Structure 1
Amino acid sequence: MTPARATTGIVEGVVAVVGQVGRDLVLRVDEVPAAGGSTAVRERREVLGGKGANQAVAAAQLGMSAALVGVVGDDPAGEQVLAQARQDGVDVRRVVRREGATTALLVDVVAGGQRRLLEDASEQVQLTAADVHAATGLLRRAAAVLVQLQQPAEAVSAALRIAREAGRFTVVDGACRDASVRQEVLAAATVLRADAHEAELFCGRALRGADAVLDAARELVGRGPRLVVLEAGAAGNAVAWEGGGELVPLTGVEVVDPTGGGDSFTAALAVALLRGEEVERAARWATAAAGSTVQRLGGRPALSPEELDEQANLLP
């Protein structure tokens, strides 16, 4: 099979990420206690978090200029996470400091390679259409625009319209609850990535088995995106493009914490495609990025192109 090429021809420029940013408190325990019980915390980490921030950091680590469009509070925590993002090489000039708001706090409780998420993120630290429009200049000139679809519908729509009108390479991650916005996503996205539940929302039906997921990915390509990647459980990821498709296996590493694996996948996929990699190679590079991230506690990536090249070469 000769894979289609999914390239913009751009190898330099800014990756603009529209999404959540906040504090991430990660707690590793031996087991989650039952009601009334207690347990000791074996490891604790406090890091910059949120899907948007994770993707921006990953893109920066992989050699791209990265800029974040999001919201934090005007509290000390907001200043701390922005300082961390700056240290990570992320441009945060379009991150809004919302007066009177408390910066989002994400608490990940991890036991046995599985996590439970507690999320304290008020409406005040959700993106609005006005916040997105304030970043119009960035989005119009970006090499790629990555949009996290868990943000409010009006903010997602604003980002997609700006990117589409400017002809930007647009990577969307997740699924909106609003069906009308999902249609807008399919019309605007260059690349769509979704997990198993999100894929079912886009398709409007249950997906049972890897073959059904791959068929769904091919179906969604026919509805707009040039490339669709859908999570297919233990089988890996179903990757489809016009005229082709395949199941890309996982790396097989031991999962310490699944947090952030999808974010690293999305960022690495975007970077690989921007650099002109063929679809098959880009998908394996992204799979290697996810595998690297889930081997450590917390969703914070620690990626390098050399590591991803090495790990991608090991995948069938």
Structure 2
Amino acid sequence: MRIAVVGQIARDLVLVVPEVPGSGGSAEVRERREVLGGKGANIARGTRQLGATAALIGVVGDDREGRLLVEQLGADGVATTAVVRREATRTALIVDVVCDGEYRYLEDIPGPTLVTVEDVQAASALLAGADAVIVQLQQPAETALAAVRAAGGLVVLDGAPGGRQAELLAAADVVRADHREAEALTGRRITDVEAAVKAGRELLARGPSVVALAVPGEANVVAWDNGSAVIPLTAAEVADTTGGGDAFVAALTVALVRGDHPEDAGRLATTAAGRAVRHPGGRTDLTGLSQD
């Protein structure tokens, strides 16, 4: 399986604290992790751990942090030939402050670290030769559309586009969204399973053949052309939901590419997300997941 991911690369700084201080206050940091992150990097790494050949189209700065992140991607088995080192910019930084299972993000994502249409065009052969292309929709809409059009295999959209929504959905095979993203896509409140099923069927009518939507704290809903399934979340104790969606889309894509039924793919993806939320930060090990 050859899977290409178009998405974000960032340095993740994860801080676990007993409380989030108010203005002028301070708090002890109980745990600190500095790791390779960003949704694109997390997804690519997850697909590699699940047995696929993974390649990432993303951008880092021309600084020491960018060099180290590219080295880590390579060490994780992700192909980096299409990762761009952008001159005169700094690598993206995401600070994840975790307290009692809840998180707050501080993000420094310079505009030049977003993937451009030109970056996609430079990687067109890689995208055309992949069995699946995952497009992480924090990237500009024009970039996402260029990636979708260059894809030679299964097209997976992760998130909600900021523009060109109709064109992107029409060209997609699979759409995965959390409840906020699903609300942005459909204009429908996703407050329960029934609403998610209705939203999924609405999105199917707009182009995709498989839609996976999250119902917070309850389940994932997977819908396909002639059916749907409600898959309860795992019983894992949640330390931090960061990375859960990334693990979900990585496992969902791998399962669909190898020919699993959408319901089975959704169950594997839900298990992957359950593994990801057990620890602070988005860096997760999905190796051996199918044996869980």
TM-score calculated relative to the size of structure 1: 0.90
Q: Deviations over 1:176-203 (max 9, x none)?
A: 122xx11122111111000111101111
Corresponding letter in the other structure for 1:229: A
Q: CA deviation at 1:297?
A: 1.6
Stretches of 4+ moved more than 3 A in 1? none
Q: CA deviation at 1:218?
A: 1.3
Secondary structure at 1:234 match in 2: coil
Corresponding letter in the other structure for 2:187: G
Name the structure 1 match of 2:162.
177
Name the structure 2 match of 1:205.
188
Determine whether 1:288 maps to 2:276.
no
Map 1:59-208 → 2, pairs under 5 A: 59-163=47-151, 166=152, 168-178=153-163, 181-208=164-191
Corresponding letter in the other structure for 1:176: P
Quick one: distance in 2 between partners of 1:295 and 1:202?
29
Q: CA deviation at 1:206?
A: 2.4
Quick one: distance in 2 between partners of 1:156 and 1:36?
42
Contact 1:285–1:309 under 8 Å retained in 2: no
Secondary structure at 1:146 match in 2: strand
Name the structure 1 match of 2:229.
246
Q: CA deviation at 1:55?
A: 0.2
Name the structure 1 match of 2:242.
259
Q: CA deviation at 1:152?
A: 1.1
The unaligned stretches of length 5 or more in structure 2 are: none
Contact 2:191–2:215 under 8 Å retained in 1: no
Secondary structure at 2:211 match in 1: strand
Q: Deviations over 1:69-98 (max 9, x none)?
A: 000001000000000000000001101000
- Alignment identity in percent? 53
RMSD: 1.0
Secondary structure at 2:96 match in 1: strand
Quick one: distance in 2 between partners of 1:85 and 1:96?
13
Q: Deviations over 1:144-188 (max 9, x none)?
A: 10000111112111111112xx3x20111000122xx11122111
- How many residue pairs get aligned? The number is 292
Quick one: distance in 2 between partners of 1:169 and 1:309?
25
Determine whether 1:230 maps to 2:213.
yes
Q: Deviations over 1:87-123 (max 9, x none)?
A: 0000011010001110000110000111101110111
TM-score calculated relative to the size of structure 2: 0.98
Contact 2:60–2:84 under 8 Å retained in 1: yes
Quick one: distance in 2 between partners of 1:150 and 1:188?
18
The unaligned stretches of length 5 or more in structure 1 are: 1-11, 311-316
Range that drifts further, 38-47 or 150-159 = 150-159
